[in-house]
């Protein structure tokens, strides 16, 4: 009888070992499968994030295109005044002194584009100019900077003796054009 119990006990141990072996094999296979799915999820998540960023950038580009298509043959005075105010507000945002800001009438010899040119004379530091140009770039218009001329500003004697402002200021002449595309009928 003892012999039967030993055989039964050995069979139970063997069954338990086989059970644990196949269970561990099954679990390892599932872990490998889970890791593979996890890797695919990460890749797809990265693609989704890239697509979201691209979508946001394309929305901004589409807004620029939408603002830059027209059926008019010339810029309206309201558009010119609005853009002039936007430029002045931007300069004011960075405490840039605007000495002159005026639009120039441009003959539109090109048949597919309208151009409105603006000339600005500013007095600012390089940091202010960099921030101004960075914000100008983010406007919802097609803007072409024709010339950017930077000259050191001649200091008066009262300014040179003042120690409160050590930043060098420059006279900046900026010629830029706002371009619109004529929509064909």
Q: Domain ranges for the chain, please list them.
A: 1-67, 70-182
Q: Helices marked H in 68-150 — which ranges?
A: 77-93, 126-137
Is residue 136 a contact partner of residue 143, using CB atoms and an 8 Å limit? yes
Q: Give the tens place of pLDDT for each residue, 91-104.
A: 999 999 999 998 98
Q: What is the DSSP string of 110-161?
A: SSSEEEEEEEEEEEE-HHHHHHHHHHHHTSSSEEEEEEEEEEEPPPPHHHHH
Query: Topology of 70-182 in CATH?
Result: Alpha-Beta Plaits (3.30.70)
Distance CA 101, CA 79 (A): 15
Q: Give the tens place of pLDDT for each residue, 106-158.
A: 766 556 788 899 999 999 999 999 999 999 998 888 999 999 999 998 766 55
């Amino acid at each position: 009888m003892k012999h039967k119990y030993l055989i039964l006990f050995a069979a139970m141990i063997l069954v338990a070992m086989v059970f644990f072996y196949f269970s561990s094999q099954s679990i390892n296979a599932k872990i490998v499968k889970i890791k593979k799915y996890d890797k695919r999820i990460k890749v797809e998540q990265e693609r989704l994030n890239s697509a979201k960023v691209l979508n946001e950038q394309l929305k901004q580009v589409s807004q620029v295109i939408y603002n830059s298509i027209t059926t008019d043959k010339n810029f309206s005075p309201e558009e010119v005044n609005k853009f002039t105010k936007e430029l002045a507000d931007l300069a004011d945002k960075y405490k840039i002194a605007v000495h002159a800001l005026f639009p120039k009438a441009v003959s539109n010899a090109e048949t597919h584009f309208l151009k409105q040119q603006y000339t600005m004379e500013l007095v600012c530091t390089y940091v202010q100019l960099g921030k101004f140009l960075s914000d100008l770039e983010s406007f919802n218009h097609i803007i072409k900077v024709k010339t950017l001329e930077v000259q050191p500003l001649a200091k008066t004697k009262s300014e040179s003796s003042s120690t409160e402002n050590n930043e060098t200021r420059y006279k900046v002449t900026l010629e830029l054009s706002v371009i619109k595309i004529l929509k064909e009928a």
